[in-house]
Amino acid sequence: MSAAVSLRCIGCKGNHNLEYLLECPDCGGLLYIEYDLDRIAQVQFGNLSGPGVWAYAELLPIPDPLHQITLGEGHSPLLHAPKLGNAMGLNNLWLKFDGLNPTGTVKDRSAVTAVAAALQFGYDRIGVVSTGNAATSIAAYAARAGIKAFVLSTESSSRPKVCHVNALTAHFAMYQGNYDDMIIGFDKAVDTKAIFDGGASRNPYKQDGKKTMAYEIFEQMDLQIPDYVVYPVGIGELLLACQRAFRELKLAGHADRTPIPVAAQSDVADSIVKALANDAERTPTPITYTIAEGVAVGDMGAKGDWVLEDIRTSDGLAAASSDAEVSEWQQRLARLEGIWAGPTGCITLPALAKLVRRGDIPSEARVVCTISETGLKSDLEPPDIAVISTDPVAVMQFLTT
Ligand X SMILES: *Cc1c(COP(=O)(O)O)cnc(C)c1O
Contacting positions for ligand X (CB under 6 A): 105-107, 133, 200, 232-238, 294-295, 344-345, 372-373
Minimum gap (Å) between residue 262 Cβ and ligand X = 13
Q: How far is the CB of 239 from ligand X (least distance, A)?
A: 6
Q: Does residue 182 sit in helix, strand or coil? A: helix
Least distance from ligand X to the Cβ atom of residue 148, Å: 22
The entry of ligand X, Zn ion, none near residue 133 (CB within 5 to 8 angstroms by kind) is ligand X
**Taking CB within 5 to 8 Å according to partner kind, which of Zn ion, ligand X, none is near residue 9?**
Zn ion
In whole angstroms, how close is the CB of 112 to Zn ion at the nearest point?
A: 28
Compare residues 43 and 208 and give the one whose CB is closer to ligand X.
208
Tell me which residues touch Zn ion (CB under 5 A). 9, 11-12, 14, 24, 26-27, 29
348, interface contact from Zn ion, ligand X, none, CB < 5-8 Å by kind: none
Q: Which pairs count as long-range contacts for 307-310, CB under 8 Å and 24+ apart, including other chains?
A: 307/233, 307/236, 307/239, 307/240, 307/263, 307/272, 308/272, 308/275, 308/276, 308/282, 310/239, 310/240, 310/243, 310/261
- Count other C-beta atoms under 10 Å from residue 103's C-beta: 26
Q: Which residues lie below 8 Å from residue 42, measured CB to CB, with a gap of 6+?
A: none
Q: How distant is the alpha carbon of residue 309 from its chain centre?
A: 19
226 versus 236: smaller Cβ distance to ligand X: 236
Is the Cβ of residue 13 or residue 83 nearer to Zn ion in the bound state? 13
**Binding partner of residue 234 among ligand X, Zn ion, none, CB cut-off 5 to 8 Å per kind:** ligand X
Taking the chain, what is the end-to-end CA distance rounded to the nearest angstrom? 61
Give the C-alpha separation, 318 to 213, whole Å.
20
CB nearer to ligand X: give 61 or 132.
132
Closer of 249 and 272 to ligand X (Cβ): 272
- Minimum distance from residue 121 beta carbon to Zn ion (Å): 21
Q: How far apart are CA 210 and CA 33, in angstroms?
A: 13
Residue 372: contacted member of ligand X, Zn ion, none (CB under 5 to 8 Å, by partner type): ligand X
Angle at the Cα of 223 from the Cα atoms of 219 and 227, rounded to 5 degrees: 100
